[in-house]
Amino acid sequence: MSAYLIVDTELTRPERYEDYKRLAKPLAEQYGGQYLVRGGAMSIKENDLWTPTRMVVVRFPSVEKAKAFYDSAEYQKILEISKESARRTVVLVEGF
């Protein structure tokens, strides 16, 4: 069963975040991740609880693969760049 890593990102240091993007994408792909959405234009239709700013959606072949990616030592190093350059909400959800 597929899993989706959904990330809402507010960039605080956009130039530094480019380093994160450059490193995270190929690593996610090593775990079977496929980027479906990567910061494109948004049109918010309903919003009572949340104001997203920059959305990313990555599909993984399974929850286990998504967790393996996120918890990997390699990603944890890359994640430090994200923490220096953005505020994020990250959700992992099972899909179809």
Convert the pLDDT of each residue in 21-71 to its tens digit. Answer: 999 999 999 999 999 999 889 998 998 888 899 999 999 999 999 999 999
49: which 2 tokens? 């609880």
Provide the whole-model pTM.
Answer: 0.92
Strand order of the β-sheet with 55-60 is 34-38, 55-60, 3-11, 86-94
Mean pLDDT along residues 6-26: 97
Tally of domains in the chain: 1
Q: What span, in angstroms and rounded, lies between the C-alpha atoms of 64 and 31?
A: 10
Q: What is the pLDDT of residue 33?
A: 98
Would you state the torsion angle of the CA atoms of residues 60, 61, 65, 67, taken in this order, to the nearest 10 degrees?
A: 50
User: Which CATH number does the domain housing residue 22 bear?
Assistant: 3.30.70.100
Range of the domain at 74: 3-43+51-94
